[in-house]
Structure 1
Amino acid sequence: MTALALLDYASVFVFALTGALVASRAQLDIVGFVFIACLTAVGGGTVRDIILDREVFWISNPSIIMVASAAAFVVFFTAHLLESRYRTILWIDALALAVAVPAGVAAAIAVGAVWPIVLIMGVATGCFGGLMRDVVCNEVPLVLKQGELYVTCAFVGAGAALALLYLGQPLSVALIGCAGATLVLRMGSLAFGWSLPVYKSRPPRV
């Protein structure tokens, strides 16, 4: 199994957990759990593969859908054991982001994409699945939530991978650096409130 395939499997499973947890907050049935888990798990990778003109990863490997569905069943029978499902979603989603961004970077590099496309594919793979999940479940999208870093984390992580490659590091080291930068920044935002300045409206000048 290739490194890209392993990243895809890991990203799918962890993102599927977050999708199923959001489904539990919406009190959906088991079919709804599976649908939201699969949508979250493959959304970002599907966008990535369509843009890169690759065969969509879960079509070439349908076992991906089985992994996402298994995660949905696990959450369906265990979500009630969690003290705070929302906090769990935040932290598991941070882990999922740190796996998905390197998967997007690796996929873009595999097709010989230039560095701006590699950067964009890392961000898209990390962010679009969660965005679809939250929009469909009528939740405030985490990627747009005020006062938290999210897209920025994906952007910095993908940039770290490119920087390491530029410095002559092997792809495996670059992907580990990507995951580490993404995870540290996202967890720092959750734990310590790290954020970027937000726009504040002002009265127009007369």
Structure 2
Amino acid sequence: MSEILDLVGIFVFALTGALMGVRKRLDVVGMVVLAEMTALGGGVVRDLILNVRPTAFQSLGYVLVPVAATVIVFFWHPHVARVMPLILVLDAAGLGLFCAVGTEKALEYGLAPLHAALLGVVTGIGGGMLRDVLAGEIPTLLYDRQLYAVPALLGSGVMAALSAYGLHGWPATLAAAMLAFGLRIMAMRFKWRAPLARGSGE
């Protein structure tokens, strides 16, 4: 079940990467690269920091799912763009899931709660950062005007806190993921923004 949820999250993240490729007028190779980086980048960075073989290289599905997402966007991107609100909701769910699972995996490998939470954030937003850098955009982490990194930090922090109090397994993961998901959805719904420096203007 966890692998299925992983693949769903990877598929949604890959859609956003491929759509970025369309907006940047990249060819199909560039779209695949952005899709793969967006979908797998955070998990690969996490696993490399943990000094373990990246999960993405242990299952063919992890590599093929972003390719499938790219094919869909390549041929039907106007239709995909029309359901962007749904994709953003699924993206928020993937963000919550990945930051919670990433934190849990880091804790299993012996990291302190704070470091595990930070690595959970990397898992959730790392792929998007790589996508933005490759596409020439300001990474979301550095310009969190749509509260993307903040929900990831909340979910990761809650996951680490629950673990510190002896709460593990899917209930803790679900709780942390839902909190991150809920904050992200609320931010989109009410247009919450992180503040700018005083006097810098909009």
- TM-score for the superposition, normalised by structure 1: 0.85
**Gap regions ≥5 residues in structure 2:** none
What's the CA shift for 1:97?
1.2
Contact 1:162 1:174 in 2 (8 A): no
Paired residue for 2:140?
A: 142
Percent identity over the alignment?
A: 35
Deviates more, 1:53-62 or 1:190-199: 190-199
Paired residue for 1:57?
A: 55
- TM-score for the superposition, normalised by structure 2: 0.86
Paired residue for 1:105?
A: 103
Contact 1:22 1:89 in 2 (8 A): no
Contact 1:156 1:182 in 2 (8 A): yes
Distance 2:134 2:54 in 1: 22
The one-character-per-residue Cα deviations of 1:59-115 (angstroms, maximum 9, x if unpaired) are: 222331011111111122221124558766644432331222122112212323221
Distance 1:68 1:96 in 2: 14
What's the CA shift for 1:31?
2.0
The aligned amino acid for 1:190 is M
For the pair shown, the structure with the greater C-alpha radius of gyration is 1
Q: What is the aligned residue count?
A: 200
The aligned amino acid for 1:173 is P
Contact 2:114 2:157 in 1 (8 A): no
What's the CA shift for 1:8?
3.4
Does 1:94 pair with 2:92?
A: yes
The one-character-per-residue Cα deviations of 1:169-206 (angstroms, maximum 9, x if unpaired) are: 3321111011111111111111112234331258xxxx
Structure 1 counterpart of 2:26, from 25, 28, 31:
28
Paired residue for 1:14?
A: 12
Query: Any residues of structure 2 matched to 1:47-196 within 5 Å, and which?
Result: 47-82=45-80, 90-196=88-194
Distance change in 2, residues 1:8/1:54 (3 Å)? farther
Contact 1:160 1:178 in 2 (8 A): yes
Distance 2:38 2:144 in 1: 21
